[in-house]
Structure 1
Amino acid sequence: MDGRGRHAQSLMRWTLRPADAGARADVPRRRRTPSSRPPAEAGRLTRLRFSAARWSAPLLEIRVPRFAGLAGAALFLASVGAYGAVKGDHVPALVTAVKDASDLAANRMGFRIATVSLSGQRQLGRDAIFAAAGVTARSSLLFLDVAEARRALEANPWIAEATVRKLYPDRLLITIKEREAFALWQLDGKVSVIATDGTLLSETVPPRFATLPFVVGRGAAAKAKDFLGVLDRHPAIRDQVRASILVADRRWNLRLKNGIDVRLPEDDLDAALTLLATLDRERRLLSRDIAAVDLRLPDRVTVRLSEAAAAAREEVLKAKPPKRKGSDA
């Protein structure tokens, strides 16, 4: 009830109805302002904004690790250092430094090489074997590469085979099989020591090898074993030989100690050496004043006198009086 004695009533009891047509016509209608974008384009723009917001939210929430910058800087410096080591040819020194550090750590743990047992060596000394195997006073048994040590040992021309074994914690076993010095080989004026397989063992000749058989010529080192084996079957000739010379990589000549040259055939060396030994034994052929004996033809032996013997023979022939015609003999 208000001040005038009227009761207030709820509006919900009344039904709101539109005004009549005339009344609606009198009220001006509000016109909508056309949108600046087509409805379809506006919808796509709204969806793109929503998608961008949805995907960018997790990215904004990613947290960078605390020491990421320090790690990146360290990686950059390491890359620069590695590049500089390669360009400056410092890689071997770097590898050696890393290996020394590893050996030092292993040695402190009790893996220092305390004993090295060697067997099979005759020509090589202990120091030469250790150097070839890469074993030093700083080497540790733990980080010693036995396969690499074996390959390094067998790279030495004196060593034909090598075996390297570890006995933990501190013992190393090295067994080698050496090549034997077989002959002296001369090529282009240089004399070297060679093995039976032709391997060059030493470019200098120690006094203990001075009496080895002497072969000369290109290819003689590889063929020396077979030829000297045939020559050994004829000791009477072998003991007079000073040098065996390979000619044109096909056949051999012998230079005897008294200066005589013996020209051997390419084939059937045994028969030629047997004939030469027979002539020397029966006729003292190799003791005569001759310069060369040619055995290259199987059906004849040709002997060339020395210059002095040829000159003496010429004088004898000149001094001999000619025969008179019709004279009695």
Structure 2
Amino acid sequence: MDGVGRLAGSLIARLDRAGADALLRVHRILLARYRRSLAEAQAASDEPYSRPSAWDFWLRRLSVRIANLHIPRHAGIYATVALMAATGLYGIQRGGHWPAVNGALLAFGDDMANAAGLQVRAVRLTGNTKLSQPEILEAAGIGPNTSVLFFDPDAARTRLTANPWIAEATVQKLYPDQLLVEIVEREAFALWQRDGKIAVIAADGTVIVDQLDSRFQHLPLVVGAGAEKRVQEIVGLMNARPTIASAVRAAVLVAERRWTLVLKNGIDVRLPDTDVEGALATLARLDAEKKLMTRDVSMIDLRVPGRVTVRLSDEAFRAHEAAIKERQRARRRAGTAT
């Protein structure tokens, strides 16, 4: 047994050494072939071998992750449905049909909310004197089928303030079935003439009515480009002196720089660029002392501080010339008689 065991152990050791030697020889042969092929590849290439960049490694890792990505079941169907939905939405947007689609969706939502008892049954409206309740409800987008749940107060406020009569608006929802609408209306302040057309404007220059209305014929008239932006200034100064305000037909803004007052009797009063209040005070004093605004003149020039220049009307000028000639003839007759 021991002899046999020693023999078997010796054979196994020899076989192990022989196998290791064979594996080593195979490894050396493969390594030599690899080095030879690598040398041949480098020799055949014009450029020397370079290590792959970090970008190449990143792309390889990304491709491996994509290849190993697990795609859920029915993902193709979901992707197809999403693509069709996106295509439909794009077509609606490009074709300008989105307002109609949005209106239909809102109408459907209102119907569902109304069925649940959230229909608007009362609107508390305050602050309107010029506009009627139906006009305000229409401007706010409140209809018989409007629901409190899907009503948008911000959008309603934007629509209300787009009306030139409305300066401010507050819109609130009062669940379950009421809305609160509070508005601040603009007041008609003056008439503004530009390009031969007359409009009614507010104190801030906003055009309220773009045509002349008989209800507002008593308002002061301003004329010229930019006059609507400075209307509060000139009207306030004139109203501070009622004798001047009652005599003025229109205030004309010249070159968007200074005012000329056109009186009802046709006299032009030219005001300076600055210190308009002082010029009006001078005009009021001269009128009180010498009735200047009712004299037979065509122009009163107050543009130069401390100096007043007047121009006679044509008839007054002719009468003045005739009076001068008559005085000259009288002096000649008196000289001849002596």
Give the corresponding residue for 1:32: none
Identity of aligned residues (%): 47
5+ unaligned residues in a row in structure 2: which ranges? Answer: 5-25, 31-67
Q: Alignment partner for residue 117 of structure 1, among 103, 124, 131?
A: 124
Report matched runs for 1:214-229 at 5 Å.
214-229=221-236
CA offsets 1:126-158 (integer angstroms, 9 cap, x no match): 222112212122211101111222222223222
Give the corresponding residue for 1:94: 101
Where does structure 1 differ by over 3 angstroms across 4 or more consecutive aligned residues? 38-41, 62-65, 68-77, 315-320, 322-329
Are positions 1:267 and 2:252 aligned together? no
Aligned residue for 2:244, secondary structure, equals helix
Q: Which amino acid aligns with 1:293?
A: I
Give the corresponding residue for 1:169: 176
Inter-partner Cα distance in structure 1 for 2:176 and 2:142: 16
Give the corresponding residue for 2:300: 293
Q: Alignment partner for residue 284 of structure 1, among 291, 303, 319?
A: 291
> How far is 1:76 from its partner?
4.2
5+ unaligned residues in a row in structure 1: which ranges? Answer: 1-14, 16-37, 42-58
Give the corresponding residue for 1:207: 214
Report matched runs for 1:61-210 at 5 Å.
64-65=73-74, 71=78, 74-210=81-217
Are positions 1:248 and 2:234 aligned together? no
Q: Which amino acid aligns with 1:178?
A: E
Aligned residue for 2:307, secondary structure, equals coil
Aligned residue for 1:138, secondary structure, equals coil
Give the corresponding residue for 1:323: 331
Inter-partner Cα distance in structure 2 for 1:79 and 1:286: 75
TM value normalised by structure 2: 0.73
Inter-partner Cα distance in structure 1 for 2:256 and 2:85: 58
Q: Which amino acid aligns with 1:323?
A: R
Structure-2 change in CA distance of 1:69 and 1:301 (3 Å): closer
Structure-2 change in CA distance of 1:229 and 1:90 (3 Å): same
Inter-partner Cα distance in structure 2 for 1:82 and 1:298: 69
Structure-2 change in CA distance of 1:77 and 1:267 (3 Å): closer
Give the corresponding residue for 2:33: none
More helix by proportion, 1 or 2?
2
Inter-partner Cα distance in structure 1 for 2:166 and 2:101: 30
Report matched runs for 1:45-64 at 5 Å.
64=73
> How far is 1:317 from its partner?
3.4
Inter-partner Cα distance in structure 2 for 1:271 and 1:80: 70
Give the corresponding residue for 1:305: 312
Q: Which amino acid aligns with 2:312?
A: L
Structure-2 change in CA distance of 1:269 and 1:87 (3 Å): closer
TM value normalised by structure 1: 0.75
Larger Rg belongs to: 1
Inter-partner Cα distance in structure 2 for 1:283 and 1:300: 16
Q: Which amino acid aligns with 2:99?
A: P
Aligned residue for 1:323, secondary structure, equals helix
> How far is 1:235 from its partner?
0.7
